[in-house]
Amino acid sequence: MDEIVGSPGTAVLTEVPQSHESGYQERTYSLNVSKSLQKKLAATDQDVVVYETGGGLRLLLNTGMFECFKFAVDKFFYDTSFPFKCCKIPIHDKQGNLVETQYKLSTGRQSIYTLNLYHTKSSCLINGKNAQKFTDVHLPIMLKNIEDMLLPEQITPADINNSLKQLLMSVNNKTAKPSSDHHESDVHDNELRKLNETIQVVRKEKQIRHSIQSQESYIKGILTDFMKSVSEQILELKYELKEHVKKTSAQMEELKDITCGLKKHHSLCCNDISSKMQDVAEESESVKTQMSVLNEELLKRWQSFTDSIKTQLSAITNHKKENHHSTQNKDQSSNNENTNDSSSVVSEIQKTPNKDQRSSQTVTRQTLIIGDSIVKGINKSGLKTDVDVLTCPGKKLNEIQSNLSREIQ
């Protein structure tokens, strides 16, 4: 506990980290050390009390909880992640004893709240427009810091409070004087302390009653506003429900009319479809009968057509055969006549000499073959060297003979 409590002449019981911004203030009075120690000793038996003042919030703590709370406040305000600007102002008496510490929080030029720690009374005061932020947000984090600090050591604020109580009692016993004046002052201080305690109890009860009344009035106001809003919403819902019922009834009537019309149209369509199906069935039957008749007629015609083609083909083949026989007979007779005529003509030609033969008897190479049909297929190279081929136009022997006689003359 030597690290927690300092010398008897001071009220600073812990070492705190350096502030971001700090100031210095001095009171005009000197601290009575013996009375301050007696107040600290009396605060060890004090319960934790929270109540509202005219412009803020007051915290009354026992001595052990106050010392833990100071450490948690410094740790919270000077954390690197703290988003606000904090100005720590220590306040001393004329002798240099720390009697109070102020923490002023701000963001830019706007003040948030101010926390005052009274070291001789083990109490705190929170003032400012946003003091609610301390109780709602910051105070739970500070209490969590106290818990994290004490949990590894397996001690509680009550243990610290009891240790401080024993220490303060020993210090008071060492500094006490056995004089009547001192005894009277102690009696007077005890009476004042009891009076202050009764006053605090009365104030506490008044604050509790006032807070209960204010809460009740606030709750009543909230309930009345809520009931008004609920009644208004109910009226609006009733009106909307009536309108919706009217619309739905009208829509149901329209749907009924539409369904009746659809039923009638459906019945008419069904009747029409049934009559058309009967007509289609009758027409299909008639078409089937017509198709069967046409098929029979077509088969008959096709049979007659094939029979006629067969008869014509047989007649054509017979005619071709007859023509072939007749042409063969004609060719044979004509060949016989041509051979006879050619032999006679050749003999006549051989008997009648040519003009050139008359003039020059040395040329005796001329052999005359008459007729185009005769010389067909004859190759001159196959004849003898002294044979010349002469053709005369003409179909009959008389024509060939006349033409030949003209050429000879």
* Boundary-marking domain end, from 127, 155, 176: 176
* Boundary-marking domain end, from 123, 158, 176: 176
Which ranges constitute the DSSP H helices of 155-179?
Answer: 157-175
In 3D space, the residue among 376, 42, 367 whose CA is nearest the CA of residue 186 turns out to be: 42
Cβ neighbours of residue 88 closer than 8 Å, sequence gap 6 or more: 19, 20, 21, 22, 23, 77, 101, 102, 103
Please report whether residue 220 resides in a domain. Answer: no
Query: pLDDT digit string (tens) for 247-294?
Result: 999 999 999 999 998 998 888 899 889 888 988 888 888 898 999 888
Please report whether residue 185 resides in a domain. Answer: no
Amino acid at 293: V
* Boundary-marking domain end, from 117, 152, 176: 176
Per-residue model confidence (pLDDT) at position 388:
62
Pairs from 116-119 (Cβ < 8 Å, separation ≥ 24): 117/66, 117/69, 117/70, 117/73, 119/11, 119/12, 119/13
Please report whether residue 285 resides in a domain. Answer: no
pTM > 0.85: yes or no: no
In 3D space, the residue among 50, 203, 27 whose CA is nearest the CA of residue 124 turns out to be: 50
Please report whether residue 69 resides in a domain. Answer: yes
Count: domains in the chain: 2
Lowest pLDDT segment from 40-54, 75-89, 368-382 = 368-382
Lowest pLDDT segment from 13-22, 133-142, 154-163 = 13-22
Can you give the residue range of the structural domain that contains 399? 345-408
Query: pLDDT digit string (tens) for 72-131?
Result: 898 898 887 888 888 999 999 888 888 899 999 998 888 899 999 998 888 899 998 888
Per-residue model confidence (pLDDT) at position 203:
62
Please report whether residue 387 resides in a domain. Answer: yes
Per-residue model confidence (pLDDT) at position 14:
36
Q: Give 179's DSSP letter.
A: S
Mean pLDDT of 192-196: 58
Please report whether residue 308 resides in a domain. Answer: no
Count CA atoms closer than 13 A to 190's CA, side-chain side.
Answer: 6
Per-residue model confidence (pLDDT) at position 341:
56
Please report whether residue 192 resides in a domain. Answer: no
- Residue with more model confidence, 17 or 151: 151
Q: Give 408's DSSP letter.
A: H
| 8 A C-beta contact, residue 186 and residue 193 | no
**With bands split at pLDDT 50, 70 and 90, how would you rate the model's confidence at 408?**
low
Please report whether residue 198 resides in a domain. Answer: no
